[in-house]
Amino acid sequence: MKIKYLHTMVRIKNIEQSLKFYVDLLGLKETRRVENEVGKFTLIFLAPPEQTDCPVELTYNWDTNKNYAEGRNFGHLAYEVQDIYEICEKLQRSGVKINRPPRDGRMAFVRSPDNISIELLQAGQAKKPIEPWLSMKNEGHW
C-alpha cells in the first residue's frame, strides 16, 4: 500500500513570535495558510526553501488561552494513504484502536505504541462514507 508523509503539526500560542522563530531565525518559508472562521483556527505551513513537500504545520487556535503543556503542544504526524478504509481495517485487525474513525471517507486518527497521534488522510477525493466506519464513535482522544 502506498503511503506519503504529509506534515507534522505543532500548536502555537502567538503567530508573530512563532513566525519570527521559524521564518526569520530558522529560514523556513511559508508555503500555505488557511484561515478557518468556522473552526476558529489558522494553519500556517512552513518548509525549507528547497524542500516544500515536508512542511511543519503551525496551528493557532483563535479563542484559546491555553498554555499547552509539553507534549500536548505537539499535535500529530500526518500521512496520505491510498485507501483510508483499507489501512484502518488493517490497523484495527492488528489491535490498533481507531480513535477517530474515517466516517467522512477522508480522515482518521490512531495512536502509535508510544502514544503519538497519527492522522491518516485519503489521497485525492474523500471516499464514499460506508459502514462500519460511518456509525463508529470516537474513542479516546487524538
Provide the strand spans (E) within 13-104. Answer: 29-36, 41-47, 56-61, 74-81, 98-100
- CATH entry 3.40.47.10 includes domain 3-74: no
Whether residue 132 is preceded by a cis peptide bond, meaning omega within 30 degrees of 0, is yes
pLDDT in tens, 2-21: 888 888 888 888 899 989 98
pTM of the model: 0.69
pLDDT in tens, 85-104: 999 999 999 999 999 999 99
Question: Residue 72: which pLDDT band, with cuts at 50, 70 and 90?
Answer: low
Question: Residue 136: which pLDDT band, with cuts at 50, 70 and 90?
Answer: very high
Active site residue 35: no
Catalytic residue among 30, 86, 89, 119: 119
Which residues, in sequence order, are CB contacts of 105 under 8 Å at separation 6+? 84, 85, 122, 126, 127, 128, 129, 130, 133
Q: Where are the domains positioned within the chain? A: 3-74, 82-122
Q: Enumerate helices (H) and strands (E) in the chain, giving the number of each.
A: 2, 8
